[in-house]
């Protein structure tokens, strides 16, 4: 050790320091003048991780609505939460959220609801992770939990016994066919609270599950598959199998030994005497539906049977007479039907994310609860428009029902309005062929929100597309068509973008598979104030097919992605300024975007995400990534991308989100979603990102504490006067816990009675309670600090001088003549 201490290391240190200095200088020059090297994968930065929280959306009506025993409330599941509504007023009473982590919430959902047979304020819920939970829907309290199986698909209750359908995939090394899950009917006792509930297997369903129901006395359970149904005797566990082709739904009669089976041909088959071993079953058929029967339900008395399907018509059957009445034009197909315990209301779950309450007396709609109205025919189809910010009113535009757009409030995420881009009647098809409906595939807005551009497409044939320019109408608070262009390209339109700078003239650029891109602009016609849109320029580069095009924020530069390159064009002279290439690999550039307020250009291919430096016309950095969503922030230079993780079968299962800055290939934030991302957008005046998954659930990624409200938020109760004229300064000051002094308003508290026209004032009787509360406010002329000082001063005195005027607190009494004159005016109305 002594020898080591005498060694002189100074020359070696100087030598190493020179090498490090050279490396630092070289790396610094490389960062400034050279593109970044190709990375293997984007790296996460743990200290910059953002909150990821669900804030709205979801799929309504996936399972039947449940009424309370007194029919005052109705409940349904919204993906992973339970919503409680008042039947008469449709008031949103409560949201019940099961206790799961935010990561589990993305894949967690409620699969069934059922009321407690004895305690009328309790409901059971079945979940996708195999739990049965008991809730008090009046308080939102969790009473009990049972762990049953890995996954529950359906549940029916009788007394304290639950009959559930569970599904499990075969083991990887088993000889069973992996594409077919195995479904089992289990009987679960719910008498005692156990971590793992005991169950017994009653039957198995080999192919696709289609329905489950239990008789009123609990003696029989019917479970259906696609080509047969089974009648299970719960006492003896005997199983009777009945073949039924193309079965779609089933229901058990509440008082008779009758099972109603719906099929894909629109027929309802009534099977009698199924429970009698000595008698052969009797079969009867009812046929009205032109397409598959989606749902069947019986009234509590058993006299009435209801059915619904694609025709958007509720059919009410009178079983004794076999006569049917109809409630037509309900707007969208019916998937689920529930009947209230008093037989006075019907709850319909409809296509387009809607729950409708219909009166059984006058057959009119009482209430309607609507979610995100995504009219997707196939579950794997994505959101074609994405989430697009409307800058004028800070709304979010996205696809609605076929041929329409819907707008959401970017702060509350509530539905604001729906715009029919392609007007049409909501009718069902006449035969087996699907009705060809127009779909909005692209939407874009100008920087000030004055103009909106849409592209609609009809799948009946090639090149059935229309380009429409809409102008905002302040009188109607909506958009109206200004210009329509039929067949803007000789082929299909590949992309649509508008200039987002409100200080420049609005322009629009489209690309088509006719190997051309077109620049559109507004032109004033000969008539005064008559503005119409027309094509200003048609461009082409080596007959390559353009896939995307964007306009710079100042409107002076156009960037067009054409196969393996990106071409840059002058927007004024329409001349080619340069060509951006990436020689390392040959992959088609599918998406491009300018980084706002910078000299960078984002681009995405099938295999990479890359950034070009427009000053040097070189690739600044590149990251291998399979990009599905690609959205740039118009207010900053950030970019959010979604990279899909693909399985061997080719299905999208999860998404990995990243936020990039153009200067560095390392993302500033990353998050792994458990579901597929189908849309994303940056919220205005915020650093948060709004994400939408394939189940229509909305997530907020960012500083969720200070932005949008959560599902648990409840509006504050206010008085009538506060709703009409706003909160008083005294109430606002009292509600604040951080104010150190009291601000006294110079406006009299009752000044609104004289400043407002008499015919605009409410009735005096309706204002009396709120008026008395306002007049009887406690005195706030002293701050808390002055009161404490006064108390300390009085404590130090041994004797109080009652004649000392300084020790008294005086306050000027308001002139009561003002109050008497005010009431005289009110009474004289």
Question: How would DSSP label each residue in 463-496?
Answer: T-EEEEEEEEETTTTEEEEEEEEE-SSSS-EEEE
For residue 635, what are the contacts with CB-CB under 8 A and spacing of at least 6? 596, 682, 684, 685
Which region among 20-24, 476-480, 576-580, 810-814 has the lowest average model confidence (pLDDT)? Answer: 20-24
User: Domain-by-domain residue ranges, the chain?
Assistant: 718-773+820-829
User: How far apart, in whole angstroms, are the C-alpha atoms of residue 549 and residue 565?
Assistant: 12
pLDDT score at 38: 41
User: What does DSSP assign to residue 732?
Assistant: H
C-alpha distances (whole Å) from 598 to each of 42, 397, 617, 661, 662 are 22, 27, 14, 10, 9
**Sheet of 546-551, strand order:** 546-551, 557-562, 565-570, 576-580
Q: In terms of C-beta distances under 8 Å and separation of at least 24 residues, what long-range contacts does 612-616 make, across chains too?
A: 612/566, 612/580, 613/35, 614/568, 616/33, 616/35
Spatial contact of 551 and 499, defined as CB atoms under 8 Å apart? yes
pLDDT in tens, 36-52: 444 444 544 444 568 88
Nearest to 464 by CA among 472, 455, 473: 455
Q: Radius of gyration over alpha carbons of the chain, in Å?
A: 34
User: How far apart, in whole angstroms, are the C-alpha atoms of residue 405 and residue 411?
Assistant: 19
pLDDT band at 775 (very low <50, low <70, confident <90, very high): low
User: What does DSSP assign to residue 47?
Assistant: G
User: What does DSSP assign to residue 634?
Assistant: T
**Please, which residues bridge with residue 293 across strands?**
309
pLDDT in tens, 67-95: 999 999 999 998 788 999 999 888 889 99
Q: What is the percentage of the chain residues whose pLDDT exceeds 90?
A: 43
- The separation between CA 660 and the C-alpha centre of its own chain, rounded to angstroms, equals 24
Residue given tokens 């939408």 in the structure block: 692
Spatial contact of 219 and 213, defined as CB atoms under 8 Å apart? no
User: How far apart, in whole angstroms, are the C-alpha atoms of residue 776 and residue 759?
Assistant: 26
Which region among 90-99, 557-566, 761-770 has the lowest average model confidence (pLDDT)? Answer: 761-770
User: How far apart, in whole angstroms, are the C-alpha atoms of residue 245 and residue 263?
Assistant: 7
**Please, which residues bridge with residue 652 across strands?**
646
pLDDT score at 816: 54
pLDDT exceeds 80 at position 97: yes
User: How far apart, in whole angstroms, are the C-alpha atoms of residue 56 and residue 410?
Assistant: 11
User: How far apart, in whole angstroms, are the C-alpha atoms of residue 449 and residue 89?
Assistant: 36
User: What does DSSP assign to residue 38?
Assistant: B
691 phi/psi in degrees, rounded to 5: -120, 140
DSSP H helices, 60-139, are: 102-105
- The separation between CA 745 and the C-alpha centre of its own chain, rounded to angstroms, equals 43
Which region among 345-359, 364-378, 550-564, 596-610 has the lowest average model confidence (pLDDT)? Answer: 364-378
Query: Residue 649 has which token pair?
Result: 């079968």
Query: Residue 408 has which token pair?
Result: 């959401």
Residue 408 gets the label, from left (phi > 0), alpha (psi -120 to 50) or beta, of beta
E-strand ranges in 683-747 read: 689-693, 697-702
Sign, CA dihedral 625-44-49-101, equals positive
User: What does DSSP assign to residue 35?
Assistant: P
pLDDT score at 782: 40
User: How far apart, in whole angstroms, are the C-alpha atoms of residue 679 and residue 234?
Assistant: 48
User: How far apart, in whole angstroms, are the C-alpha atoms of residue 295 and residue 576?
Assistant: 61
pLDDT exceeds 70 at position 329: yes
For residue 31, what are the contacts with CB-CB under 8 A and spacing of at least 6? none
Query: Residue 212 has which token pair?
Result: 């489950």
Nearest to 109 by CA among 130, 91, 89: 130
User: How far apart, in whole angstroms, are the C-alpha atoms of residue 638 and residue 602?
Assistant: 10
Question: Which range is most confident: 3-7, 240-244, 703-707, 746-750?
Answer: 240-244
pLDDT in tens, 214-261: 999 999 999 998 888 999 999 888 898 888 878 999 999 999 989 999
Q: What is the DSSP string of 490-526?
A: SS-EEEEEE---TTS--EEEEEETTS-EEEEEEEE-S
Tell me the three state secondary structure of residue 658: strand
Give the angle 287-292-295 at the CA atoms, nearest 5°.
90
Residue with the larger pLDDT of the pair 274 and 774? 274
**Sheet of 334-339, strand order:** 334-339, 345-350, 354-359, 365-370
Q: Residue 799: is it exposed, middle or buried by C-beta count within 10 angstroms (0-12/13-18/19+)? A: exposed
C-alpha distances (whole Å) from 556 to each of 37, 571, 633 are 30, 5, 19
pLDDT in tens, 130-150: 889 999 999 999 999 888 878
Q: Residue 452: is it exposed, middle or buried by C-beta count within 10 angstroms (0-12/13-18/19+)? A: buried
Residue with the larger pLDDT of the pair 95 and 106? 95
For residue 731, what are the contacts with CB-CB under 8 A and spacing of at least 6? 722
Neighbours of 92 (CB within 10 A): 13
C-alpha distances (whole Å) from 187 to each of 63, 160, 197, 214, 224 are 20, 11, 10, 11, 16
- The separation between CA 30 and the C-alpha centre of its own chain, rounded to angstroms, equals 44
Residue with the larger pLDDT of the pair 722 and 354? 354
Q: Would you tell me the crossing angle of helices 816-827 and 764-775 to the nearest 10 degrees?
A: 170
pLDDT in tens, 379-394: 445 688 999 999 999 9
pLDDT score at 204: 87
Q: What is the percentage of the chain residues whose pLDDT exceeds 70?
A: 71
User: How far apart, in whole angstroms, are the C-alpha atoms of residue 407 and residue 421?
Assistant: 13
Spatial contact of 682 and 671, defined as CB atoms under 8 Å apart? no
User: How far apart, in whole angstroms, are the C-alpha atoms of residue 652 and residue 655?
Assistant: 8
pLDDT score at 613: 94
Print burial letters for 758-770: b (CB count within 10 Å at least 16), e (below 16): eeebeeeeebeeb
Mean pLDDT calculated for residue range 750-775: 60
Which region among 32-46, 540-554, 577-591, 666-680 has the lowest average model confidence (pLDDT)? Answer: 32-46
pLDDT in tens, 58-71: 888 788 999 999 99
Spatial contact of 254 and 216, defined as CB atoms under 8 Å apart? yes
pLDDT score at 824: 62
Spatial contact of 507 and 551, defined as CB atoms under 8 Å apart? yes
User: How far apart, in whole angstroms, are the C-alpha atoms of residue 19 and residue 614?
Assistant: 33
Q: Residue 670: is it exposed, middle or buried by C-beta count within 10 angstroms (0-12/13-18/19+)? A: buried
Q: What is the DSSP string of 172-225?
A: TTSSS-TTS-EEEEEEEE-SS--SB--EEEEEEE-S-EEEEEE-TTSSEEEEEE
Nearest to 684 by CA among 450, 447, 512, 523: 447
pLDDT score at 765: 64
This prediction's pTM: 0.72
pLDDT band at 823 (very low <50, low <70, confident <90, very high): low
């Amino acid at each position: 050790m002594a020898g080591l201490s005498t060694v002189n290391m100074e020359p070696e240190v100087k030598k190493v320091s020179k090498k490090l200095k050279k490396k630092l200088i070289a790396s610094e020059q490389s960062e400034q003048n050279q593109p970044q090297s190709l990375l293997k994968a984007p790296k996460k930065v743990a200290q910059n991780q953002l909150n990821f929280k669900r804030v709205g959306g979801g799929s309504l009506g996936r399972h039947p609505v449940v009424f309370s025993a007194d029919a005052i409330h109705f409940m349904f599941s919204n993906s992973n939460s339970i919503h409680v509504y008042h039947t008469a007023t449709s008031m949103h009473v409560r949201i019940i959220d099961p206790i799961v982590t935010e990561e589990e919430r993305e894949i967690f959902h409620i699969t069934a609801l059922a009321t407690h047979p004895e305690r009328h304020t309790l409901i059971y819920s079945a979940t996708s992770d195999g739990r049965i939970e008991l809730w008090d829907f009046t308080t939102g309290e969790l009473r009990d939990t049972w762990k049953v199986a890995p996954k529950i698909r359906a549940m029916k209750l009788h007394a304290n016994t639950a009959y559930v359908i569970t599904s499990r995939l075969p083991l990887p090394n088993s000889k069973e066919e992996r594409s077919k899950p195995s479904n089992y009917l289990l009987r679960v006792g719910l008498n005692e609270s156990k971590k793992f509930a005991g169950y017994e297997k009653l039957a198995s369903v080999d192919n696709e599950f289609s329905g489950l129901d239990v008789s009123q006395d609990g003696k029989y359970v019917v479970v259906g598959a696609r080509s047969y149904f089974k009648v299970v005797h719960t006492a003896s566990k005997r199983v009777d199998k009945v073949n039924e082709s193309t079965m779609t739904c089933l229901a058990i009669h509440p008082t008779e030994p009758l099972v109603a089976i719906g099929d894909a041909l629109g027929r309802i088959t009534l099977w009698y005497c199924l429970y009698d071993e000595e008698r052969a079953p009797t079969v009867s058929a009812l046929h009205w539906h032109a397409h598959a029967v989606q749902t069947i339900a019986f009234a509590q008395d058993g006299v009435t049977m209801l059915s619904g399907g694609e025709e958007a018509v509720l059919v009410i059957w009178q079983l004794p007479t076999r006569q049917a009445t109809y409630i037509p034009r309900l707007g969208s197909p019916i998937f689920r039907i529930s009947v209230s315990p008093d037989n006075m209301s019907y709850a319909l779950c409809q296509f387009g994310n809607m729950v409708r309450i219909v009166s059984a007396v006058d057959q009119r709609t009482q209430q309607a609860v609507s979610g995100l109205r995504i009219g997707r025919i196939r579950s794997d189809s994505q959101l074609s428009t994405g989430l697009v910010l409307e800058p004028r009113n800070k709304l979010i535009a996205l696809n609605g029902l076929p041929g329409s757009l819907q707008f959401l409030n970017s702060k509350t995420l509530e539905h604001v309005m729906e715009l029919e881009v392609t007007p049409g009647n909501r009718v069902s098809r006449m035969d087996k062929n699907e009705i060809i409906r127009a779909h909005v595939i692209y939407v874009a807005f100008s920087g000030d929100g004055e103009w909106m551009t849409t592209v609609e497409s009809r799948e009946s044939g090639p090149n059935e597309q229309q380009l429409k320019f809409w102008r905002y109408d302040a009188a109607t608070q909506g958009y109206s068509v200004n210009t329509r262009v039929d067949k803007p390209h000789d082929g299909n339109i590949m992309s649509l973008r508008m200039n987002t700078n409100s200080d420049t003239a609005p322009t629009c650029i489209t690309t088509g598979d006719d190997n051309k891109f077109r620049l559109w602009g507004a032109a004033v016609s000969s008539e005064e104030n008559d503005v119409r849109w027309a094509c200003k320029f048609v461009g082409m580069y080596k007959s390559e097919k353009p896939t995307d095009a964007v306009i710079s924020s100042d409107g002076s530069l156009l960037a067009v992605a054409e196969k393996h390159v990106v071409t840059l064009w002058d927007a004024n002279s329409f001349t080619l300024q340069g060509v951006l290439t990436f020689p390392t690999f040959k992959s088609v550039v599918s998406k491009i975007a300018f980084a706002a307020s910078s000299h960078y250009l984002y681009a995405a291919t099938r295999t990479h995400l890359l950034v070009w430096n427009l000053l040097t016309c070189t690739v600044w950095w590149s990251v291998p990534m399979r990009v599905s969503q690609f959205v740039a922030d118009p207010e900053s230079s950030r970019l959010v991308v979604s990279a899909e993780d693909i399985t061997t079968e080719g299905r999208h299962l999860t998404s990995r989100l990243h936020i990039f800055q153009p200067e560095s290939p390392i993302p500033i934030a990353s998050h792994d979603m458990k579901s597929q991302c189908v849309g994303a957008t940056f919220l205005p005046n915020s650093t948060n990102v709004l994400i939408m998954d394939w189940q229509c659930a909305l997530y907020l990624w960012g500083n969720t504490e200070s932005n949008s409200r959560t599902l648990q938020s409840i509006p504050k109760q206010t008085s009538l006067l506060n709703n009409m004229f706003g909160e008083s300064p005294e109430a606002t000051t009292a509600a604040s816990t951080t104010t150190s002094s009291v601000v006294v308003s110079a406006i009299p508290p009752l000044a609104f009675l004289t400043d407002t026209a008499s015919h605009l004032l409410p009735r005096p009787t309706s204002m009396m309670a709120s008026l008395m509360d306002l007049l009887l406010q406690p005195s706030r002329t002293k701050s808390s600090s002055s009161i404490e000082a006064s108390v300390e001063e009085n404590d130090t005195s041994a004797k109080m001088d009652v004649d000392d005027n300084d020790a008294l607190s005086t306050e000027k009494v308001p002139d009561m003549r003002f109050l008497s004159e005010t009431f005289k005016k009110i009474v004289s109305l």
